[in-house]
Amino acid sequence: MSKANGDFLFTSESVTEGHPDKIADQISDAVLDAIIAQDPVARVACETLVTTGLAIVAGEITTTCYVHVPDIVRETIKEIGYTRAKYGFDYETCAVITSIDKQSPDIAMGVDTGGAGDQGLMFGYAANETPELMPMPIMLAHKLTRRLSEVRKKDILGYLRPDGKSQVTIEYKNGKPFKVTTVIISSQHSPDVTLKEMREDIIEKVVKPVIPKDLLDEESIVYHINPTGRFVVGGPQGDTGLTGRKIIVDTYGGVGSHGGGCFSGKDPSKVDRSASYMARYVAKNIVAAGIADKCEVQFAYAIGVADPVSIFVDTFGTGKIPMDKIVKLIRENFKLTPKGMIESLDLRKPIYKQTAAYGHFGRTEPGFTWEKTDKVAAL
């Protein structure tokens, strides 16, 4: 199959909130939220490592408030579902080590005057193939992992444990989603459940409630449910988790480009986060306005400099107006300095922990201000 003629297969993956890397992301963002709730202009760069029986939190934080990091770590681990010592990692018995320093005064000097907190390039993407204006594969992958956690927490499938992953392959025809060809689900589980029972339960109670019926061909779809046959050891006992290791899960599932910087644990003066959110906001409004069916936006920044050094737009041949006009519309209708982005998207609020699992984009909950389409009329 060739992408050139619009007929191709595309695959994206997601992970549950109990995946080790996502535990780390959620802890980093929980620390950020606790600080920003008291000190909205705090500078936070918070990194987390989780492994068997241990969580380490380190970073550079400049703030006027005090938060008790070990309590935040334990509460986050508890909410995710690591509540029993036999999981090899639990909120009561895990050790918590912290190493926090202040932000470098050399960096602070440039940020204090309204400049970007670092150099870098950030991308935003939107496409009209789902109601959320997101790529279909990543949206379905997220819905599967969210459902996996839901059936665990509601005790619908009480033998499931917090760690898990999903992967969805979609066949496109003429550039549009045609059907789901493959679904992979790997979920941590108790040792006493059989693979046969688990396969049947996950297909019926996780996959089928999520995959739209018009995309589900029972005759041809391939299911891989725990394809190794066993997934008892998981979470931080099975793999060490680190903040910022699921940046494609966090964004568009491999569609479009990524500048390489993660989001979690970073306050909005870091353009890795704020400019990526703004780029999504811009791309989504362009697609919602009917200017293009697909749109990718790139912003690039220099440390200590407020305005972007470049703006790039790609509509993949679907644009209804010339590219230079789209760039002009972006410059006229969106504030692209760090201060402007923070104000436009109201980013100095404790909204970040909720972003740290199941994707930062395509979300409808309160606080995801970059998902608004309030610029459509202006465009």
Return mean pLDDT, the chain.
95
The reply to whether 258 and 355 lie within a common domain is: yes
Q: How many CA atoms lie within 13 A of 142 on its CB side?
A: 24
Written as six digits, the tokens of 266 are: 């970073």
The reply to whether 250 and 358 lie within a common domain is: yes
Question: 71 in a domain, yes or no?
Answer: yes
**pTM for the whole thing?**
0.96
186/233 Cα distance (integer angstroms): 12
Question: 152 in a domain, yes or no?
Answer: yes
Q: Write down the pLDDT at residue 107.
A: 65
Higher pLDDT, 234 or 211: 211
Closest alpha carbon to 375 in 331, 342, 325, 338: 331
Q: Write down the pLDDT at residue 190.
A: 93
Give residue-wise pLDDT tens across range 10-31.
999 999 999 999 999 999 999 9
Give residue-wise pLDDT tens across range 164-193.
999 999 999 999 999 999 999 999 999 999
| Positive/negative CA dihedral, 153, 155, 160, 164 | negative
Question: 186 in a domain, yes or no?
Answer: yes
Q: Are strands 241-242 and 43-51 parallel, antiparallel or unpaired?
A: antiparallel
The CATH number covering residue 201 comes to 3.30.300.10
Question: 114 in a domain, yes or no?
Answer: no
The reply to whether 250 and 316 lie within a common domain is: yes
The reply to whether 216 and 277 lie within a common domain is: no
Higher pLDDT, 109 or 135: 135
Higher pLDDT, 118 or 196: 196
- pLDDT exceeds 70 at position 1: no
Question: 191 in a domain, yes or no?
Answer: yes
Residue 108 banded pLDDT, cuts 50, 70, 90: low
The CA-CA-CA angle for residues 275, 40, 43, to 5°, reads 65
The H or E element containing residue 109 is helix 105-112
Question: 238 in a domain, yes or no?
Answer: no
The reply to whether 124 and 145 lie within a common domain is: no
- pLDDT exceeds 70 at position 374: yes
Q: Write down the pLDDT at residue 377.
A: 94
Residue 6 banded pLDDT, cuts 50, 70, 90: confident
Give the rounded percent of residues in the chain with a pLDDT score beyond 70: 97
- pLDDT exceeds 50 at position 214: yes
The reply to whether 252 and 318 lie within a common domain is: yes
The reply to whether 173 and 95 lie within a common domain is: no
The reply to whether 180 and 259 lie within a common domain is: no
Give the rounded percent of residues in the chain with a pLDDT score beyond 90: 89
The reply to whether 357 and 251 lie within a common domain is: yes
Give residue-wise pLDDT tens across range 268-322.
999 999 999 999 999 999 999 999 999 999 999 999 899 999 999 999 999 999 9
The reply to whether 250 and 305 lie within a common domain is: yes
Name the residue range of residue 56's domain: 20-106
Residue 88 banded pLDDT, cuts 50, 70, 90: confident
The reply to whether 229 and 251 lie within a common domain is: no
Residue 110 banded pLDDT, cuts 50, 70, 90: low
- In sequence order, the 6+-apart residues with CB closer than 8 A to the CB of 125 are 135, 251, 252, 255, 256, 257, 279, 280, 283, 294, 295, 296, 297
Domain count within the chain: 3
The reply to whether 209 and 189 lie within a common domain is: yes
Q: Write down the pLDDT at residue 87.
A: 79
Question: 219 in a domain, yes or no?
Answer: yes
Question: 1 in a domain, yes or no?
Answer: no
Give residue-wise pLDDT tens across range 35-77.
999 999 999 999 999 999 999 999 999 999 999 999 999 999 9
Closest alpha carbon to 100 in 53, 51, 34: 34
Residue 159 banded pLDDT, cuts 50, 70, 90: very high
> How large is the greatest C-alpha to C-alpha distance in the chain, in angstroms?
62
